[in-house]
Amino acid sequence: MYLNNNNGMNMKRLASILPIALLLLLGSCAKEGLNDFKPYTNNELNDTAWVKTISNTANIFSLADTLFQKTYFTDSIDLTKDQNIQLGDTLELEFKGNCLTTGTGLLQDGKAKIELIKILKKGDFIKAFRPNSSNGYPLETGGAFFIRITKNGNELVLAPGTSLKIKWTDIEAPKQNMQAFYGKEGFPIPTSALDSSHNWFPDNDTSWLKPWVKNSGNGEKRGYILETKKLRWISAQHVLVPNTKLTNIYGILPPNYTNKNTLVFAVFANSRTVLSLKSDFTSRSFTTGNVPMGTRMTLVSISKIDKNFYLGTKLINDVGTVVNYSFTPEKKSLAQILEYLNSL
């Protein structure tokens, strides 16, 4: 009887202890779970959403600004005197005095500031986000320039009937059929380097550019002479006229490489041509049109996700029946990406 009564008491004690122990166990589990579980809902690597309208706070804008790394040549000029500005033995600018006005047409005198950027290599066109296309058709380039002249912070323009002459040596043998093109920028002009509205359009004078031969201590150098009637973006280019059909191409990346964080370009192998692939919201891909069949090229993607950079490349030996190209970017440092672009 004693044993039976003691067993009953033990059972009652056990029954009263079990709920308390269970509560303590659940509490400790809950506490441990809160400490160990780390949600990643705000991690940009998990963001796979594309947008129809890209906000100006999207990563592609800061990415473009980082890549651009503006390197200006700057000088002070006298607006009333003829100018001949020489940058080593590779570039010369010539223009007459009293040829610059305000937007209202008022001739300016005194001192002004001239700024210039020169872009010659394919990678330069990517870094400056100035792809070689006119109304959607690819161009081959012989170089481009950004020229801005300001007085007291106000931008000046060339007066009607005047011009500025640019002479430069090219990194390739000059071609006979280069023409003057001007860059049409978005309105208002973006404050970011990224201008998705940028388009090259030809000068009304479609004659071919004259060659320039420069003799120097390093031997004979050859390039072009371009007389521009406008400032800001100016280039030597010609429309590629292929004898083949044209097609659209599509770059397809993993889901977290979206139109908010990624820029994609097509770099032609056999001409100095860089195209920008625009984001296509419907297909969640990047695309461009009017690509000649048979073109050899490399697709290049550059991404900024959170504070990290990514580079993707896809070699295409022959644009043909296959026009959808999938590839996966790799994490790179900014220095590695710039080194790659400078090698193009």
Task: At 30, list the tokens.
Answer: 């809950």
DSSP helix, strand, coil percent of the chain (3-state; round to 5): 20, 40, 40
CATH tag for 46-50+243-342 (out of 2.60.120, 2.60.40, 1.10.3470, 1.25.40) = 2.60.40
Predicted local confidence at residue 26, as pLDDT? 40
> Where do the CATH 2.60.40 domains begin and end in the chain?
46-50+243-342
Query: What are 122-171's pLDDT values in tens digits?
Result: 999 999 999 999 999 999 999 999 999 999 999 999 999 999 999 999 99
Mean residue pLDDT of the chain comes to 88
Query: What are 239-268's pLDDT values in tens digits?
Result: 998 888 999 999 999 999 999 999 999 999
The torsion angles phi and psi of 127, rounded to 5 degrees, stand at -65, -35
Average the pLDDT over each of 5-14, 76-85, 256-265, 302-311 and give the range with the smallest value.
Answer: 5-14
| Whole-prediction pTM | 0.85
The torsion angles phi and psi of 39, rounded to 5 degrees, stand at -70, 145
Return the half-sphere exposure (C-beta side, CA atoms, 13 A cut-off) of residue 167.
Answer: 19
What is the Cα–Cα distance from 148 to 168, expressed in whole angstroms? 18
Q: 10 Å Cβ neighbour count for 251?
A: 26
Task: At 198, list the tokens.
Answer: 């940028």
Predicted local confidence at residue 105, as pLDDT? 81
Q: How confident is the model at residue 333 (pLDDT cuts 50, 70, 90)?
A: very high
Q: 10 Å Cβ neighbour count for 7?
A: 10
Task: At 270, list the tokens.
Answer: 């056999």
Task: Please say if the pLDDT value at position 315 is more than 50.
Answer: yes
What's the one-letter identity of residue 311? L
Task: Please say if the pLDDT value at position 79 is more than 70.
Answer: yes
Of 227 and 87, more confident: 227
> Where do the CATH 2.60.220 domains begin and end in the chain?
59-239
CATH tag for 59-239 (out of 3.30.70, 2.60.220, 2.40.360, 2.60.40) = 2.60.220
* Dihedral, 161, 156, 131, 306 alpha carbons, nearest 10: -170
Predicted local confidence at residue 41, as pLDDT? 58
Is the previous residue joined to 292 through a cis bond, with omega within 30 degrees of 0? Answer: no
324-326/246-252 β-pairing: parallel
Based on the number of CB atoms within 10 Å of its own CB, is 309 exposed (0-12), middle (13-18) or buried (19 or more)?
Answer: buried
Asked if 312 and 298 touch (Cβ cutoff 8 Å), the reply is no
Predicted local confidence at residue 308, as pLDDT? 97
Of 316 and 8, more confident: 316
* Cα dist from 184 to 25, 136, 193, 213, 275, whole Å: 69, 13, 14, 30, 16
- The SS3 assignment for 156 reads coil
